[in-house]
Amino acid sequence: MRAQVLLPKVFNFSFTYNTNQKKLRLGDIVEVPFGKKREIGVIWPGKNLEIKKIKIKNIHKKIDKFSLKENLIDYIRWFATYNMMPLGLVLKMVIGNGKNFFIKKDKDIDQNINISINSKFKLNEEQKNALNFLNLKNDKFDVSVLQGTTGSGKTLVYFERIKRIISEKKQALVLLPEIFLTNEFKSRFFDFFGFDPAIWHSKITPKNKRIIWKGIMNNKIKLVIGARSSLLLPFKNLGIIIVDEEHDTSYKQDEGVVYHARDMAVARASFEKIPIHLISSIPSLETFNNIQNKKFRHFKILKRYNNYPLPQTKIVNLNLKKIKNSFISEESIEIANKFLNKKEQVLFFINRRGYAPYLICKKCGFKQICSSCSMYLTFHKNKNKAICHHCLSERKISKKCSEGKICEFIMYGPGVEKIYEEVKKIFPSNKIEIFSSDYMKKKDQVNSLFSRISKNQVDILIGTQMISKGFNFPKLNCIIVVDADFSGRGYDLRTTEKNIQLYHQLSGRAGRFSSESLIVYQTLSPENITLNELIKNNSEEILKKELALRKKNLLPPFNRLLAIIVSANLQSLSFDGAREIKKHLEKISDIEILGPVDSPLLKIKNKYRSRLLIRFKEKNFKQKQISNLLNTLKISNKIKLTVDVDPVNFG
Ligand SMILES: [Zn+2]
Ligand SMILES: [Zn+2]
């Protein structure tokens, strides 16, 4: 008998093997000889080809107890087609490289499910209504959006939801946008459920991965909290998927295997025929559109959990103050002092890592630019180096410029370290801490900072974007946005959307336990429309306007975009390569090909990048045709193709 076996490797096809085992079924996990090695693979659907010249090898054995369900096989096939990637690579995301099945000694995790009923968790009326709304469709595919301002207690609602699913002996998956949030959430889960959830992300140890894999496949693990990649795990009996902070652009994986985890999670739910909840304070534009046209159900929690109002807002017009060498206005200092005097915490928010985003010589105008990327270098004072935020290369600042003269660099623009210095001068007697990814690389650093903040041993925080995400600081009641800039970079079509989400999230950090809280926007453009709608708490208006604009410009979600990035060592190679590919793509009907153009970030890691953008109607599923065509092309090994379906970044 013949059988097809898909291996978790880069191939887009399965291999034919002989077998004498009659009981083999689709999805069974088997050990097969491959080259000189043994590999793990999955019995895969497909024609058993009659191959005459090649000796067909035998399947070595079946790995008992483990197999993939048919709907997961269908999902893997769909996922590979949609995202235009090899089947085997998708399988690798599902079962790993297979080595897991050779090791038998690991202890199992058994999430002993005795959900403790902790009386400190009580839903208010609005939350109860939200829960009833989500409970409405329990056994079939259904996308529902739970929207609620930050601090409205959405998490508690979906915890209750998970409780029900687990009590029905099914498994639950919670997706979070960032790895560091999984640890922060772990304790909240434990508090509520009385057991530790399994944590899944790229940084966990191979051993833990193995244990979780097995636990998921035999249904001993009931609850997984994970980053993007967890959505492909081989659950045995998945009952629900929750995507928290669904609007977060971190869900889009930009490097390596490119896919959008939120959209792929919705698809997974549909293949599994289970409900999925998207949780957000302000939905993404795509989700907002799906709510408007009634594809997704929608419930909005209006009040904050403890009934505390959102912070009041104030705009400080930086044009009116001629402050020398200072990024913080007199007015902001006065406001901060008011809160500090009440022993409450103040946050200065600046969305730039490092000390200064630009280094320019004031004598010759020389700018510090990364030698392998078209990017300005950011000066980091803690390392005393200039760092490229793209390729992470570091450089000592050399005093000599290209002409051999002695340069005198000025630091242009503020970064978080610069603001830290300034705040220290203004408030010398206060305890001040930086909250930025560069300072929180290690887990214990993060934990100790959290504990100091919650014990009120910190008066002032200087934070970057990281602080806007999901943290809970009870004493934080005043936020000062140092540089509220809504102009954005020209090539990002999501600037407006990202900004309203960022600042809404950020403002939600303040006043969680106080009726008097304030967010101050220092800005050079006080008339900006987005800023003013934001202050009126009118995100819906902004989203509606954005949608109208997208429709007019034939952009997503009204059309699908697909980017093909061609990279090479020479600019002419990448550009000509892209032009050549375009010629071939033009044979495909019902698509529009824009470009090639140079990418806005022309050079990354010494590779020049040219981009084609393909646009087509969403109902025309063109990926398959485009993949097939690309596969027939003889592409020079001097250029590299990267395909990005539904691109989020246009750098
Ligand atoms: Zn670089
Ligand atoms: Zn110079």
pLDDT per residue over 518-552, tens digit each?
999 999 889 888 888 888 878 888 899 889 988 98
Instruction: Report the chain's mean pLDDT, rounded to a whole number.
Output: 87
Range with the lowest mean pLDDT among 143-157, 162-176, 184-198, 294-308? 184-198
Q: Which two tokens stand for residue 386?
A: 């200039």
User: How many angstroms is it from 39 CA to the middle of ligand 2?
Assistant: 59
As a whole number of angstroms, the distance between CA 88 and CA 18 comes to 20
Residues with CB under 5 A from ligand 2 (ion): 361, 363-364, 366, 401, 407
Q: What phi, psi does 94 have (nearest 5°)? A: -85, -45
Mean pLDDT of 286-300: 96
* Helices 539-552 & 495-507 angle (0-180, nearest 10): 170
Residue 53 pLDDT = 63
Q: Which two tokens stand for residue 426?
A: 């203004």
Query: Minimum-distance ligand to the CA of 390?
Result: 1
CA 328-331-337 angle, to 5 degrees, is 90
User: How many angstroms is it from 409 CA to the middle of ligand 2?
Assistant: 7
Residue 592 pLDDT = 94
Q: Which residue has the tokens 């687990």?
A: 166
Query: Minimum-distance ligand to the CA of 367?
Result: 2
Query: Higher confidence at residue 301 or residue 23?
Result: 301
User: How many angstroms is it from 367 CA to the middle of ligand 2?
Assistant: 9
Residue among 351, 352, 345, 378 at smallest CA distance from 449: 345
CA count, 13 A, side-chain hemisphere, 57: 14
User: How many angstroms is it from 375 CA to the middle of ligand 1?
Assistant: 6
Range with the lowest mean pLDDT among 32-36, 244-248, 307-311, 341-345? 307-311
User: How many angstroms is it from 366 CA to the middle of ligand 2?
Assistant: 5
As a whole number of angstroms, the distance between CA 462 and CA 477 comes to 14
CB 611 within 8 A of CB 565: yes
CB 500 within 8 A of CB 542: yes
Query: Higher confidence at residue 536 or residue 269?
Result: 269
Using DSSP, state whether 94 is helix, strand or coil.
Answer: helix
Q: What phi, psi does 193 have (nearest 5°)? A: -90, -20
pLDDT band at residue 583 under the 50/70/90 scheme: very high
How far from chain centre, in Å, is Cα 528? 28
Name the E strands within 569-625: 592-604, 607-616
pLDDT band at residue 324 under the 50/70/90 scheme: low
- The H or E element containing residue 211 is helix 206-217
**94-98, 140-144, 146-150, 473-477 — most confident range:** 140-144
Residue 58 pLDDT = 86
Residue 76 pLDDT = 97
Range with the lowest mean pLDDT among 292-306, 315-329, 483-497? 483-497
CB 8 within 8 A of CB 80: no
Residue 7 pLDDT = 94
Query: Higher confidence at residue 450 or residue 266?
Result: 266
Instruction: Note the pTM of the prediction, 2 decimals.
Output: 0.88
Q: Which residue has the tokens 């599902």?
A: 94
Residue 564 pLDDT = 93
Per-residue pLDDT tens over the stretch 89-135: 999 999 988 777 666 666 666 665 555 555 677 889 999 999 999 99
Using DSSP, state whether 387 is helix, strand or coil.
Answer: strand
CB 229 within 8 A of CB 201: yes
User: How many angstroms is it from 651 CA to the middle of ligand 2?
Assistant: 29
